Amino acid sequence: MSDKLRIGICGLNRGRVHIKNSIAADNIELVAVCDINREKADLRAAEYGVKKVYYDHRELCVDPDIDAVIMATPIDVHAETVIDALDAGKHVMSEVIVATTLEDIGRIRDAIKRSGKTYMMLENYCYIRPLLIIENLVRQGKFGEIYYAESDYLKDFQEYNPNFPNIGGWRQKTYFGRRGHPYITHTLGPLLNIMKERVKTVTCMAAGHSFDMVADNTAGLMLETDGGHLICLRSSFVSPRPDSVTYYSFEGTLGTYQAPQGPADYHKVYIDGVCRRGSWNAPGEWKNVYEFIGDRPKCWDKYWNAADYPATLLDNDTYELYDSGALMMLEHFADALLNGKEAPVSFADAANWTAAGLLSADSVNRGCVPIAVPDFSL
């Protein structure tokens, strides 16, 4: 095989990010772009010097010069477009979530099996820089056994959408068209990616119904992992506050991580034996996550190094752009295919995360009972 993975990108709203990163990647060759909006497709192709342009994903998928397709299509057509790509013999990187029903997740699994191709969900939040630092510390055993984790996904569509609650498009159906937490993978994915566990059962409660929509004002999820550990998630798309979409916390037997929860906060850790212990009369010591940047794997130097973080960040780093590691994510996928490795986010993991969100609606609708999450292993 070539030393570069030849890709096509379908869906050029979100796909524009992937165009830029594909061009910057050392092990990817961008062959073609595709969008059903002809004007947009032509514009993006001209903007980035892409020679091949398609207006139908099925035509893109049969291009013999393409090894893999990035599907940045709307959520409600993920199943259709991903299955078409797999059946055409292409590897697939798909935007979140895997699909909108358990049946479609099963159909994608069947397509993977019959095609023999690789599927990876592009969960870019797994590549947020502080979380990569935390993952590195976890792998070193610095946190001991992680037994608890939590995350929030809080947005206020009232504030920045004048047509609220009729925002239209796939977001109308995905965010407001069902109860629970269907858009779950940004919150759950990074936690389980670090814990290396899967959801066993999901229990959901919801509160408030102040707007003309199916979704509740907020939902809270309690998830039991197959390792016997606990994850708590909260979701809201009508929360009257600044967005909070990158809050995460881990607790282990030897340490704790907590992301910022406000403009004066920072990414912080307590690690037993590294940070000062507290006492009855004095609090323990938090350390800034970026104090551990020098302990990073050498392969990170290609993307950033300690010099990227000036001293001021150690005092007040309040927000981490969620696409900061998107280039690394694409290159890791290409490396996996070119060198016979497993995809960084497996289909079974992506399906587990997605299914937990879809089943949260069943839990709340059935009186907040625990619901078992099926196994989508290949």
* Euclidean distance between CA atoms 76 and 189, whole angstroms: 20
**Which DSSP state fits 275?**
B
Task: List, for residues 239-293, the tens digit of each pLDDT value.
Answer: 999 889 999 999 999 999 999 888 788 899 999 999 998 888 888 899 999 889 8
Task: List, for residues 144-191, the tens digit of each pLDDT value.
Answer: 999 999 999 999 998 888 889 888 888 888 889 999 999 999 999 999
The order of strands in the sheet holding 91-94 is: 52-54, 28-34, 5-10, 68-71, 91-94, 119-121
Residue spans of beta strands (DSSP E) within the chain: 5-10, 28-34, 52-54, 68-71, 91-94, 119-121, 146-154, 199-207, 218-225, 230-236, 244-252, 255-258, 268-271, 287-288, 371-372
Count Cβ atoms below 10 Å from residue 150 Cβ, excluding itself.
19
Predicted local confidence at residue 319, as pLDDT: 39
Give 318 or 18, the one with higher predicted confidence: 18
Give the Å distances, CA to CA, from 338 to 32, 217, 227, 374.
19, 45, 32, 31
Least confident range from 44-53, 201-210, 299-308, 324-333: namely 299-308
pLDDT band at 305 (very low <50, low <70, confident <90, very high): low
* Euclidean distance between CA atoms 23 and 27, whole angstroms: 10
Task: List, for residues 102-127, the tens digit of each pLDDT value.
Answer: 999 999 999 999 999 999 999 999 99
* Euclidean distance between CA atoms 288 and 304, whole angstroms: 18
The amino acid occupying position 204 is C
Please indicate, yes or no, whether the overall pTM of this predicted structure exceeds 0.75. yes
Report residue 338 as tokens: 């070119």
Report residue 226 as tokens: 């197959």
The answer to whether the CB of 48 falls within 8 A of the CB of 70 is: no
Domains and CATH numbers, the chain: 5-117 (3.40.50.720), 126-327+357-364 (3.30.360.10)
